Amino acid sequence: MSHTGDSSSFIEEPVSPRVRVRDLERQVLALQYRLNTEQNDAEIQKLSLERELTGIGTKYKQCMEELEKALSDTRYLYDQNGKLEKRLADIESKNESQEELRKIEAKVLELTHALRLKDQAYEELSSEHQSMLARYERKVENLTVEVDGNKSLLSKYEEEIGRHSEKIRSLSQECAKKEDEISVLKASKVVMAHHNYNTEELQELTILNNTLKEQMALSKELERANLEQANELKRLRQKSESQEFLKLENSKLQLKLEQVPAMEQKLEDLQLENVLLQEKLTNWELYKTESSSPQDVIREYQLLKQERLALSDELSKIQIDFSNMKILNDELALERNQLLDLNKKYETSILNLKKLNYEIEQQKLLSFEECKLLRQQLDDLTEIDKNSRNANADRKEFLSLVDNYKNQTEDLTSELIKLNEELLRQSEADENTSRKKRRKSDDLALTYSQRLNELQLKNKDLERKLATSQESTRMLEEKLGKLQLLNEKKIRILQLRNNPYLNDQFVKQKQLNLLKEENSALLKKLDGENEADLVPRSVYERQQFDIKQMEQELFAINKRTTRLKEMFNRKSLEFIDAVNSLLGFKLEFQVGGKVKMIPCFTHDKYLIADLQTNTLKSNLDKVIPGWNNFLEEYVGKKGQLPCFLAKVILTLAENHDQ
């Protein structure tokens, strides 16, 4: 028979009965202690699980209530969107003006032709201006190069003059000495006129005379060179004065050139204003021919403006409510997913605890059975010791008792396996029911999310329509304001080729062409009765183009912001790690220009430096002896905060090593 479990603690061959009894008593006590501890742990886990389950149930009810509120708010938003669609349709029906657009288009073509002629004249003037500016710049560059060369020559000549003046001074001193010698010699010649000289003395006198003549000639040449250099220096000074005068003229010209862009900008503004005035003069006749007066147009425009303001206010409020509801819905969805995950984890943990509890109960029963068997064996052992004398018979009885005990343990383990299988089947059935409930709740949430997405798309369409209506009202407002400020002036102007007004006109022309195509498609749609429910292709293409453009811009902006955030986080972490590894301080930047520095040797001590008030706070004075002395010496007297921080690190390192 195989030994299946480790619950029995018998040995195959018994030694003495007393030793066995003691061992069995010890094992019984150990098993009782283990059983009590397991029972206590199981009860504590049950209580904690019951508390967690009650908390999860309350949270789930709150989430369902919030979800119902969100659904009611979305229904309200859907109704408001329907009302706004109707009002926008009324506003679009009022803003139809095809005949005015045709007349404006013809006038725009005439103005573009006139602007082209004026562009040509402006290009000629700009080319002349550029050529004059280039000539002045070339002159200024040549003058600056010449001034630099003259400065270098002047410095060289000054150095040579200094050297020559020193030589002249030395030679003049030597000449004075020689003249003194000559006067002495002349006096000696007069005194000794009647004496006879030797040939050697005569030769020396001749040599001396020759050297004096050479030095006099050299001094004359040096004086001549000095005069020439003085003349050259005068000429260079005159040139430097002329160059300074040219520099002043150059600075004046530079000031004038700096004023040229401002004058050009002013000229462009005047040109734009003149073009607008001319356009309004031509359009004024169109408004005069109509039956309604300008006062009626202004009154109608003011009414439309007030209505537009009211609609924009309502739309802004709806957008804010919608964004809040969207955020709330996302938060509820996240919280619901988290609650579902927690519920799954708790269910699995409950199943595991049930299994453990059942196993503990089975082990408890086994331990009780084991205790009964052990008591029976003790009784049998006492009877055997009293009555029996044959050891072989005792051994056979013990072996039979062991076999019976093994058989009983095997039966109990088989029953334990069956009970575990039944418990697993019941847990699987419970899981299937809970999954069905989850699927139902997930389907409900899916329908709500789809409905919310549809409402978002409709809201986007309404926003686009409102933006187009606002743009048209803005254009009408600008036209009316310019008509009111119209003055009867005729000014000839010059205009840039690619000025902002022309670019705006080209954009308006393109938009006008798109609107014409859309209008023609809508007219075809109205003419064809069978195709009344279809959307024109031009409208769909224009909307798809706008959507793609906005999506690309949003994608680029989000990508750039994420990259910048990642780069900033990575660089900030690298900076903090570098400062921590090199200087021994971990930096934490706080609000109000404060920096918290934590030393690497102590994590509960810190220094806080306020960069705005130049103050320092710390709790290291209890750890570092002589804190005030260090602070006064390095910061107060020397004003060296880095030396003070280095001293702090050194003292902390010494304390850490000790």
Residue 486, number of CB atoms within 10 A of its CB:
14
| Per-residue pLDDT at 525 exceeds 50 | yes
536: which DSSP letter?
A: P
Could you tell me the residue ranges of all domains in the chain? Answer: 500-583, 584-655
Architecture of domain 584-655: 2-Layer Sandwich (3.30)
One-letter amino acid at 543 equals Q
Is a pLDDT exceeding 60 seen at residue 269?
A: yes
Q: Tell me whether residue 271 is exposed, middle or buried, using C-beta atoms within 10 angstroms of its C-beta: 0 to 12, 13 to 18, 19 or more.
A: buried
User: Are the beta carbons of 539 and 92 closer than 8 angstroms?
Assistant: no
Residues near 223 by beta carbon (within 8 Å), at least 6 away in sequence: 168
Bridge partner residues of 594 (DSSP): 590, 610
Give the pLDDT mean for 391-398. 54
- pLDDT above 70 for 382: no
How confident is residue 279, by pLDDT bands cut at 50, 70 and 90? confident
Range of 205-219, 282-296, 488-502 with top mean pLDDT: 205-219
* 444-456 mean pLDDT: 63
d(CA 359, CA 364): 8
Structure confidence at residue 493 (pLDDT): 40
89-133 pLDDT, tens digit each: 666 665 555 555 566 666 667 766 766 776 676 677 667 667 777
3-class DSSP assignment, residue 607: strand
Tell me the C-alpha distance between 175 and 171, whole Å: 6
Query: pLDDT tens across 588-626, in order?
Result: 888 888 888 888 888 788 888 888 888 888 888 778 888
Reported as a pLDDT band with limits 50, 70 and 90, residue 307 is confident
What one-character DSSP code corresponds to residue 535? P
The predicted pLDDT at position 8 comes to: 41
Over residues 422-438, mean pLDDT? 62
Render pLDDT for 570-581 as a digit per residue (tens, 0 to 9): 888 888 888 878
Specify the residue for token string 């009765």: 529
Mean residue pLDDT of the chain comes to: 71
CA distance 154 to 161: 10
If pLDDT is split at 50, 70 and 90, which confidence band does 530 have?
Answer: very low
Q: Which residue has the tokens 């790690």?
A: 577
Residues 395-427: tens digit of each pLDDT: 566 556 656 656 666 666 666 666 666 666 765
What pLDDT, on a 0 to 100 scale, did the predictor assign at position 19? 73
In this prediction, residue 266 has a pLDDT band, given cuts at 50, 70 and 90, of: confident
Give dist(CA 173, CA 215) in Å, integer. 12
d(Cα 357, Cα 66) in Å, to the nearest integer?
38
Candidates 168, 154, 151; CA nearest to 225 is 168
pLDDT digits (tens, 9 = 90+) for 7-34: 444 344 445 666 777 777 777 777 777 7
Return the pLDDT at 446: 61
Which of the residue ranges 40-54, 236-250, 518-532, 609-623 has the most confident prediction, judged by mean pLDDT? 609-623
CA distances 518 to 2, 89, 487, 522, 542, Å, are 91, 16, 37, 6, 9
- Reported as a single tens digit per residue, the pLDDT across 156-191 is 767 777 777 777 777 777 777 777 777 677 666 655
Phi, psi of 517 (to 5 degrees): -60, -45
What pLDDT score does 432 carry?
Answer: 64
Does residue 531 or residue 252 have the better pLDDT?
252
| pLDDT tens per residue across span 27-76 | 777 777 777 777 777 777 777 777 777 777 777 777 777 777 777 777 77
- State percent of the chain over pLDDT 90: 0
Residue 495 has what pLDDT?
45
pLDDT at 399: 59
